[in-house]
Amino acid sequence: MRIAIDGFNLGLLQGTGLATYARELSHVLAGAGHDVLPIYGLNHVQKQEDLVWSSFVQSLSNNGEGAKTAYRRWLWTAVRGLPHYLLPTSGLTLNRIDVNEQIHATAISARLPAFTTLYNSPGLFRASQFYTFLAERTFNIKMPEVGVDALHLTCPLPIHMPGAKTLVTAHDIIPLVLPHSTKMNLRHYQKLLRASFAQADMIFCISETTKRDISRWFGIPDSRLHLSYQAVNIPERYRNLAADDVELFLKNNYGLNRGEYFLYFGAIEPKKNVARIIDAMRMAKTDLPLVIVGKDGWLFDDVTSRLESSKSRQGSAASEKILRIQYAPFEQLMYLVKGAKALVFPSLYEGFGLPVLEAMQMGCPVITANTTSLVEVAGDAALTVNPLDTQAIKTAIERMDQDDVLRRELIEKGYAQALKFSPEKHAERLAVGYEKAGLVWG
């Protein structure tokens, strides 16, 4: 089949769990023999023929803008799409990007998904959101070529390709379930989801928790919801990192010793429960530090205030107890995961909880929540706690610090649990969903 996927998350400079999912999906589809056609909405891609590919790569590598620039882009795309809003049309035509193989071989290509052909339309995703805000329906797009079998949206987006089946992957609806954890405009968010789901021939849910929430909030019948989960697939070169190499890297880059720190990685936002992790770590009877890797997300002030108050009370000792790393590239993150005593990830809500499986695949034991999708993902291969109980998190940290037998048991169970979410298993689940939508997988 010829399958178009959106590049909405693929253009993010530092990447997210959604970006990881989108890239993994592209490789699963390509591995099954399908043509993968990613669609981007990047600005500053030149129309001059000999600069199209170079400017695309440049725009991809520098994709990021401040609030003022984002607002101006919003207005610009609104004006640009005005004819589309007012006149009947079969869709906004995308621009094909011909690949320069020499540049494709450079390091930047590591951030690209698997693809057959790339397409771009500046401001596409902003224009579609603005259109849906006004019209409460999806924004039509079309390819220069014909014969696209499916448009697979890697997250709910209000775009539609007439003549192709529409498949949507739903990760979570956290702003609706946990409204106190976000500043998002809930009315606009609900409009976008409702428009996207209404056009979908099949909605892929990455957990039973997500499937249940979508059914409850949007009244979508089970026949249009398919449980696909997602894949975890860390390259073998990271999974098999030598202990001596990990020790040297940690010592030289962060002043850490292998197996002598606890780790959290992910965004700093209320649903991730980082404030309770910090409180539990302060209470725990352990000399090991907590390493927090992640950039500030929504409403992160409570975490910042805890770290600042710790510094003011304890002086230099605080920096030994908690190490904050704003951002670590994937390779460095894998060294940190490989060398950790355990991952501490008692999130309040996850659509899937990819860090849990990534840690398991790297041989790092896990402390996580006994709620939402984390129960599905972790199985019996993690030490689970009530995420609202700081004392329980503290006790789990102490157990993991003191019980080497428990750690070895969880490491072995973790390897087996991660295999249940391999790319091969993901492909099998996708195939069933595609066929339920009336498409022939292979």
Residue 442 belongs to a domain: no
The confidence score (pLDDT) of residue 62 equals 65
Q: Which pLDDT does position 316 carry in this prediction? A: 45
Specify the CATH number for the domain of residue 331: 3.40.50.2000
Which neighbouring-strand residues pair with 296? 268
Rounded Cα–Cα distance for residues 175 and 189 (Å) = 8
Does 441 reside within a domain?
A: no
On whether the CB atoms of residues 394 and 284 are closer than 8 A, the answer is: yes
Q: What is the pLDDT of residue 66?
A: 45
**Is 139 part of a structural domain of the chain?**
yes
C-alpha–C-alpha distance, residues 404 and 414, integer Å: 15
At 76 the pLDDT is 61
- Say whether both 321 and 278 belong to one domain: yes
Residues 123 and 138 in one domain: yes
Looking at the structure, tell me whether residues 166 and 188 fall in a common domain.
yes
Q: Note whether 141 and 91 are within 8 A (CB).
A: yes
Whether residue 349 sits in one domain with residue 253: yes
Q: Is residue 260 part of a domain?
A: yes
- How many C-alpha atoms does 267 have within 13 Å on its Cβ side? 19
For residue 67, the model assigns a pLDDT of 46
Query: Measured in Å, how far apart are the chain's first and last C-alpha atoms?
Result: 8
Round to whole Å and give the CA distance between 296 and 179.
18
In a domain? residue 309? yes
pLDDT of 20 reads: 86
Q: How far apart are CA 80 and CA 131, in angstroms?
A: 11
Query: Which residues neighbour 436 within 8 Å (Cβ) at sequence distance 6 or greater?
Result: 202, 223, 226
Q: Are residues 431 and 307 located together in one domain of the fold? A: no
User: Do 168 and 203 belong to one domain?
Assistant: yes
For residues 165 and 271, state if they share a domain: no
Examine the domain organization and report whether 360 and 275 are in the same domain: yes
Kindly state whether residue 392 falls inside one of the protein's structural domains.
yes
CATH number at residue 170: 3.40.50
In a domain, 112, yes or no: yes
For residue 176, give every residue at least 6 positions away whose Cβ sits within 8 Å of its Cβ, in sequence order, or none.
Answer: 186, 189, 190, 213, 217
167 and 293 together in one domain: no
Same domain, 296 and 188: no
Domain that residue 295 falls in: 236-419
53 and 99 co-located in one domain = yes
Q: Are residues 44 and 185 in the same domain?
A: yes
How many distinct structural domains can be found in the chain? 2
Question: Across the 442 residues of the chain, what is the mean pLDDT of every consecutive 10-residue run?
Answer: 92 69 92 94 78 76 53 58 57 81 54 85 84 83 86 95 95 89 84 94 97 95 96 93 97 96 92 93 94 76 65 48 89 97 96 95 98 95 98 98 97 97 95 96 86
Identify whether 282 is part of a domain: yes
- The β-bridge partners of 5 are 38, 152
pTM of the model: 0.88
Instruction: Measure the CA–CA gap between 204 and 200, rounded to whole angstroms.
Output: 10
**What φ, ψ does residue 248 adopt, rounded to 5°?**
-65, -45
